[in-house]
Structure 1
Amino acid sequence: MKKKWFSFVFLCLALLYVTRPVLLASLKGMDLSKSDLDSSILCDTCIGLVTTVRKLAKLHVSQELIEKAAIEYCEKSGLADERICKLIIPEFKDEVLYVFDHTALSSREICGTILNDKCGSTYDPFNQQWNVTIPGGKPPIKPYHPPKVNITNRILHISDIHWDPQYTPGLRAQCDEPLCCRPPLPNGGPNNSAGAWGDARCDIPLQTVVNLMEHLSATQDQFEWIYMTGDLPAHNDWSQTRSGQVDIFNKMIDLFDQYLPNKPMFYSFGNHESDPVNSFPPNYITGSNSISWLYDAAADNGGFYSVDYNGIRIISLQTNYCNKQN
């Protein structure tokens, strides 16, 4: 019973964090630049969630009812519209329930971790200063003198393309959903419609990515190789699938191969490559919650590795393990 109660708390708090921009954007006419207003809204919502969960816990609810209750709370609290709520809860449910069933954190510690603000007496166990005594004391510092070389490397660094396959010119560019310029939104007005090449309020269409590739192909004499540091998919976190993430990855890699076939590319994952977003379980997590599906799909083109190239060592680190939202 305790696990079910914890699971629902974590599920709702994760939902609260993911849909936080939607919640704040819905407060039209209010000054959201002040952190105290932001904190107050999130704290009040958290208190309401915990109170509701304690009542549900006494009813011995099932996971199906947990999901239904989370969707209903999402809709009634205005965290997102009905369509988003019904998609985002199932998207995160299985992983969130698994994590919460295996965590040693208390509910107060989870609130302090997920709600990135000072909410009463919340406590963040991952943001504490520890003093570690080094046996034998601190070793002497030996200045490093790099070798002198007459090599100049020009490197192209690309990150956060965020291609949206559903981007549609003419649709609303400003909306109440976390991501606009895509179905099922209606057409927008003169100052609120997606442009042919993109909109700063949305992710970008494929033709803009292709135009970028054409430009890079025409100017490729200005760089020797490429660093690609991920975040290829769009921000539609509520409706993504593993197969869809792999398709986007493969499509982007194919474009680089097509337009820059002679340029070596070194790729690292961003936090948006996973499904759900920000989900990079450690290697000992196996089965349906494993991240091996992504690593296997990208094994020939990227990952986390160390390689010697053109006189330097290139190291790709899995920094998503350190992401607080992971």
Structure 2
Amino acid sequence: MKITGCWSTFPFLMLCLLLYGTGGSTSFDKITTNELRCLEKEMALSFKILKYKEMELKDFQRELDNLNLTEPLHRFFNPKGTLCKLCQLLIGALKKRTIRVENIARAICNIYIALSTWTLDDFCEDIIELNMPIIEYVLENSEIFSPELACTILLQNDKCYYPDSALTWRMSTPSTSLVKFPQVILRQNAKRLKILHLSDFHITPDYEIGGISNCGYPTCCKKGLGNPIGSKPAGVWGDYECDVPPWMFGTTLDHIKYAHKDIDIVYFTGDIIDHTVWQASKEQNSRLIYYTYKALYETFPNIPVFAVIGNHEAAPLNAFAPPDAPVNESLSTQWLYTLMSKAWRPWLPPDALKTVKRQGYYAHSVNKKLKIIGLNNNVCYNLNWWLLYNTAYLSEQLKFLSDELLKSEQNEQFVHILAHVPVGNEECIEPWEENYNAIVERFSHIIQGQFYGHTHTDELKIFYKNYSEPINVGYNGGSLTPYTKFNPNYKVMTVDPDSYEVIDVETYIFNLTEANQHSNLTPNWLKMYSMQEAYGLNKLSPQNFDQLVDDIFEDENLADLYWRFYVRFGDPSLEDGCDRKCKKDLICKIVTTRSMFPSKPNCR
């Protein structure tokens, strides 16, 4: 059974860590087979498993019987609601220390393997070992930790929402009486800017040509990983279930350098490290981060590169500690921020590097008319365990963003915002999404583009005022990695040199199946589409995109086109297909920048 969406982490692993206990027994006799199947499906959805296989009902019921419950499950049965109740009961037990986290490690692997399509589980305990010190610190020291808070953050759905004060705080935005519109003098025949948008490299240093691409682990094609019996060999240029070989990364940079000699600026929206997250370490990540930025600098020696941090750059994955938390060096994220302040030194001035070293964010004026603001919004990701310790530290970057936008407004300067995680996908927690949306609404007249990555998909985000008036647009960079079932891509944006609005976006891909069939040749990159041409848009304005969404809802062929672009014509994705509900979900993501609150009525 297919679960739509992008599986890019192990969200369900540590959620299971909080959900499943040992000992005790509960009667499930009054729950029907259909209800159990429904609960199983909702678990897989909450765990964000791209595909799941149905468990034997007796096995599934046995795992449920191991839950440490004090009341019959059927009394509060509702798929999402039940999952929420289980979460609260188990986290309450963890908080009281009546359940030891270590004792449930084996149960994690049982559930993980049972629902997933993978066949090996020896990486589970490695992930637990990596994350355990943070979880233990949070349990011991958090002043906000509660079952309601934790389950609202971890499950991120409307059936498990509690307006905890740690989630409902709001910041004030500058008064609208201060609004100042930049004066724009459009120069005839002025050269348009070309901005290269790269995202989600996920480079695998130990990629093995002819290695095992169906190895039984979450990501494959690595030396020594998996059982060679009955295996499918990894191609020279990559695999739809694997990450990027270093030579494919290098060849891509060489191709861009010679095919697009008119590039003026490079945006990179994060994620360098591959998906072997159970092997992540500060030392390995540091080496690959250094290697990547050195390659970008050498490929584009005279072109500024503006980048942001991806959630995979941290070790362990997703862990971005509050900068002022009283933690030892092993739990701090300072190593990553210090590393980035060195890696980005060729392109950012000392003042910008100070905030990079502080928490991985910055602002830099390219000229008097354009400012780049790079955010480290991985801090808002619901799988960042530090959110269970403190959510107030999110305000630091949000205030920085608001202050920098106000300065730009006063100086009649336009702004491009770079971030890794898009809002509205039930991943960024409420304080960030609500405050970020309020800031975008206040300064939409100077924000000429938002650029992000993370999902690996070719998608858009439309921001609205009062859920009705389109005011701003965000563009996803897709991914160089084909993981999972996509063709590799990069984008080239044409930007007006006076207003800095995006005029057009061209997406380039190569077909991975074809490239591996002709492995002695470099991949055949081609233009997949121009946004203006494909959708018949004379301008990439929020209003035109809003009308496009309405048209997609009415036109099945247009919806199919958007989906094909979304998966970048990846052969396995096209083979899987996307039914009407799948396409509706993709379209509704466009108009959702506050999770669970889409702006279009037919998405609610």
Provide the TM-score with structure 2 as the length reference.
0.43
Asked if the contact 1:71–1:86 (Cα under 8 Å) also holds between the matched residues in 2, the reply is yes
Do the aligned partners of residues 97 and 295 (structure 1) sit closer, same or farther apart at CA in structure 2, a change above 3 Å counting?
Answer: same
**Conserved in 2, the CA contact under 8 Å of 1:22 and 1:177?**
no
**Counterpart residue type for residue 17 of structure 2:** C
Report the alpha carbon displacement of residue 243 of structure 1 after superposing the two structures with TM. Answer: 0.9
Q: Would the aligned equivalents of 2:197 and 2:266 in 1 still touch at CA under 8 Å? A: yes
Check whether the contact 2:200–2:270 (CA below 8 A) recurs between aligned residues: yes
Cα distance change, pair 39–236 in 1 and its aligned pair in 2 (3 A): farther
Which residue does the alignment assign to 1:291?
A: 333
SS in 2 for 1:255: helix
| Partner residue of 2:136 out of 72, 97, 103 | 97
AA of the residue aligned to 2:122: R
Q: What's the offset of the Cα at 1:71?
A: 2.1
1:42-67 CA-to-partner distances (Å, cap 9, x unmatched) read 5697489559859x9448x6xxxx43
Give the SS at the match of 1:256.
helix
Q: Which residue of 1 aligns with 2:74?
A: none
* CA contact 1:113–1:123 (8 Å) conserved in 2: no
Secondary structure of the 2:267 match is strand
Q: Tell me the distance in 2 between the aligned counterparts of 1:179 and 1:50.
A: 30
Q: Is the alpha carbon distance of 1:216 and 1:14 closer, same or farther for their aligned partners in structure 2, counting shifts above 3 Å?
A: farther
**Paired residues of 1:306 and 1:313 also in contact (CA < 8 A):** yes
TM superposition outliers: structure 1 runs of 4+ over 4 Å: 14-17, 21-24, 36-54, 126-135
The CA distance in 1 between the partners of 2:211 and 2:79, in whole Å, is: 30
Aligned to 1:309: 366
SS at match of 2:315: coil
Equivalences for 1:119-134 in 2 at 5 Å? 123=162, 125=164
Give secondary structure in 2 for the equivalent of 1:298. Answer: helix
* CA-CA distance at 1:245 after TM superposition: 0.9
**Corresponding residue to 1:324 among 345, 368, 382:** 382
- Structure 1 pair 187–11 and aligned structure 2 pair: CA distance change class (3 A): closer
* 1:120-166 Cα distance to aligned partner (Å, 9 max, x none): x553648966788999xx64474614422545321111110011123
Whole-Å Cα distance in 2 between the matches of residues 14 and 265 of structure 1? 43
Alpha-carbon separation, structure 1, partners of 2:207 and 2:165: 38
More deviation, 78-87/219-228: 78-87
Q: Which amino acid aligns with 1:299?
A: S
- The one of 100, 104, 107 equivalent to 1:73 is 107
- Percent of counterpart pairs with the same letter? 24
Taking the aligned partners of 1:205 and 1:198, their CA distance within structure 2 comes to 6
Checking the alignment, whether the CA contact within 8 Å between 2:321 and 2:332 is kept in structure 1 is: yes
Paired residue type of 1:308:
S
Conserved 8 A contact 2:198-2:266: yes
Is contact 1:10–1:96 with CA below 8 Å preserved after alignment? no
Equivalent in the alignment of 2:228: 187
**Which amino acid in structure 1 is aligned with residue 106 of structure 2?**
E
2:311 and 2:317 in contact (8 A); partners too: yes
What aligned pairs does 1:180-219 form with structure 2 within 5 A after superposition? 180-182=220-222, 183-187=224-228, 192-219=232-259
Q: How much has 1:185 moved relative to structure 2?
A: 1.2
Aligned-partner residue type, residue 20 of structure 1: F
1:12 to 17, 23, 41: 17
What do the CA deviations read for 1:286-307 (whole angstroms, capped 9, x no partner)?
4222111011112123342222
Whole-angstrom CA distance in 2 between matches of 1:158 and 1:89:
32
Contact 2:271 2:313 in 1 (8 A): yes
Alignment of 1:107-256 (within 5 A): 107-118=147-158, 123=162, 125=164, 139-140=176-177, 142=179, 144-150=181-187, 152-182=192-222, 183-187=224-228, 192-256=232-296
| 2:321 equivalent to 1:263 | no
- Work out the CA distance in 2 between the residues paired with 1:186 and 1:12: 28
Measure the CA separation in 2 of the matches of 1:176 and 1:43: 30
Q: How does 1:47-86 map to 2 (within 5 A)?
A: 57-58=97-98, 66-67=101-102, 69-79=103-113, 81-86=120-125
Q: Distance in 1 between matches of 2:212 and 2:55?
A: 18
- Give the 3 Å change call, closer, same or farther, for CA 76–317 of structure 1 in structure 2: closer
C-alpha displacement of 1:205: 0.9
Q: For residue 126 of structure 2, what is the amino acid of its counterpart?
A: L
Alpha-carbon RMSD: 3.9
Return 76-85 or 316-325, whichever deviates more: 76-85
Task: Structure 2 unaligned segments of length 5 or more: list them.
Answer: 1-13, 21-42, 58-76, 345-355, 385-604
Corresponding position of 1:5? none
Name the aligned partner's letter for residue 216 of structure 1. I
- The letter for the 2-side match of 1:313 is K
**Alpha-carbon deviation of 1:78?**
3.8
1:146–1:78: structure 2 CA closer, same or farther, 3 Å change rule?
same
Report if aligned partners of 1:10, 1:100 keep a CA contact under 8 Å in 2. no
Instruction: Give SS of 1:246's match.
Output: helix
Following superposition, the deviation at residue 91 of structure 1 comes to 0.8
Q: How has the CA–CA distance of structure 1 residues 243 and 11 changed in structure 2, closer, same or farther, with 3 Å as cutoff?
A: farther
Residues 161-170 or 147-156, more deviating? 147-156
Q: Using a 3 Å threshold, how does the CA distance of structure 1 residues 29 and 113 change in structure 2: closer, same or farther?
A: same
Helix, strand or coil at the partner of 1:261 = coil
1:25 to 2:52 alignment: yes
Note if contact 1:171-1:186 (Cα within 8 Å) is conserved in structure 2: no
Q: TM-score, normalised by structure 1?
A: 0.76
Distance verdict in 2 for CA 1:71–1:252, change over 3 Å: same
Q: Structure 2 CA distance, aligned partners of 1:41 and 1:222?
A: 56
Please identify which structure carries the higher strand content: 2
Give yes or no for contact 1:213–1:259 (8 Å, CA) kept in 2: yes
1:234, 1:26 → 2: CA distance? 25
Q: 1:211 to 1:132 in 2, by over 3 A?
A: closer
Distance between the aligned counterparts of 2:154 and 2:289, measured in 1?
A: 29
List per-residue Cα deviations over 1:69-98 (Å, max 9, x = no partner).
132222333458431122010111111221
Q: Is the 8 A contact 1:172 1:181 kept in 2?
A: yes
